Structure 1
Amino acid sequence: MRAISTVLDTALFLLLVGVAVGTLALVTSAPPPASADAADGVADTLTTSAATVHYTLAPGARQASSRVVDFPITEGVAFQRTAHGTLASHLSTAALGSLAVNGKRVTRTRADYQRAVANATRNLTRGRTHLAQIRARWEPYPGAPIRGTYTVGPTPPPDETVHAETVVVASGLPSARGPARRAAAGNRTNATFERVGAVVARRIVRGLFPPDRTRSALLGDYPVEGLVTYRYERLGRLLGASVTHPAVADNATKANDRLATALGERLAADMHSRFRSPRDAADAVAVGEVRITVRTWSP
């Protein structure tokens, strides 16, 4: 396993920035040669090859089922975006685009982005003598009830010899392991799962909804303000938190506080069932990371 440091936009930043889906402008290296360690070659391609992907946010508006937001227009230039980065950073962002709570996806806003990333990934990792599956996975700790995964490529046949390689890239969310460990380092009175869960939740929410940038988005133009409000509404609904009123009032700070409180309670209860101690839970925290696993086999 290798760790790769990348500069990655936050989840919200991808929603806000960019302009253009269909074409892919690629900066590429040659596909890795066929060998027993083809997985390592594919992993190198993911971290060194870059792609510019054009996509639309329209699926998020078309598939929204909102109690507070209307999307009268669901196509056009206002929905178009462009993103540039390494394939690894795109896959990391695509994983967060599949963010789900207990298996229920938050929104479909990044569906077209994920399609474009899959096309770019296949183009640059296709080999004549091997097949590949690439899976990007974000979870704040193993087995957490909130997570995001994205997979490109088929599942290897059960009777094939499979080679695997894993790289770790930045998720774009704030790192939480250090603060979680500090929260778990107190005496028996204050070193609780609740403290660790609260620390982790605050960093997740802050990464998903950076307060200043989110407030600007809520005050911004259609469709961004509607898509951000709907994202608040949907995540709040899945966590059992009422955040639509502060979101509609452009109060990102209050909306974030409510989400963090609800998520912290959910994480604390889950941690209590999975780990022997708050310290063990804190040691497993990986909010700032996405793991990308490459598996290759002969066709």
Structure 2
Amino acid sequence: MKVGLVSAYDYAHPGGVTEHVRHLAAGLRRRGHDVTVFAPCSDKELAERDSDFVRVGRPFPIPMHGSVARITVSLHLTNRIKHYVRDGDFDVLHYHEPLMPVLPVTALRLSRTCNVGTFHAFARSNVGYYYGKPLLKRYVRRLHARIAVSNPAREFVRHYFPGDYRVIPNGIDVKRFQNQVPYPDLRDGMCNLLFVGRLEYRKGLGYLLRAFAQLKPQYPNLRLIIVGDGPLRRWYGNFLARKQLDDVVMAGYVPASELPRYYASCDIFCSP
């Protein structure tokens, strides 16, 4: 089949949805499908390096649900999107966060083929969904199939847009994590507790730091490894300094190619 994957988020910036789309595209190609990814991208040269990727718009950082969403907000992309979705002869267009502006919702409106939507997000509430419900319902009805990556994500979107949603959890490329060599300086007899994620409130690192502060006196050989960067990096650093906590490694941003070695180096992974 010829499949188009449409993502709202900056394809050059690390993130859960982007990684999901990237690995889904690779998995579909391994099964013989012709896959093209459409997304905004801050790296203009990425489309030149990847012939199966089409850059649609320039992303801008927009605060959203306690995070920062890097999406395109250009209202002048309609003709380009129309060209891609109607002249691409796709058997399926698969939208990731299909109700996000501007790319997914515009492509969904213009599509004349089979439409599949995957909903990734969970939040306590969504102002956009609440006030935009009368308009967005017409787009939801254009989806021939609806997927949610978890039960909480399904219940969240179903609260605003009732219907049938199939839960398909995020896949894991297990081969990527097999036979990895740990970092020697992290395999020194300490018990390594690993956190991986963007340093922002909703990722919950603050809970883990407070727990670590309580556990460290009881387990002196415990070490915390923090992989990721974000707007709260300085705040978390100040917290560690105030608590005078030792054996904390703030690795910062780590390329995707190096992440498996951090997992191989840890004894415990924690995602608060």
Shared fold (TM-score greater than 0.5)? no
Write 1 or 2 for the structure with the bigger share of helix.
1
Greater Rg, structure 1 or structure 2? 2
Return the structure number with greater relative CO, CA threshold 8 A, min gap 6: 1
**TM-score, normalised by the number of residues in structure 2:** 0.30
**TM-score, normalised by the number of residues in structure 1:** 0.28
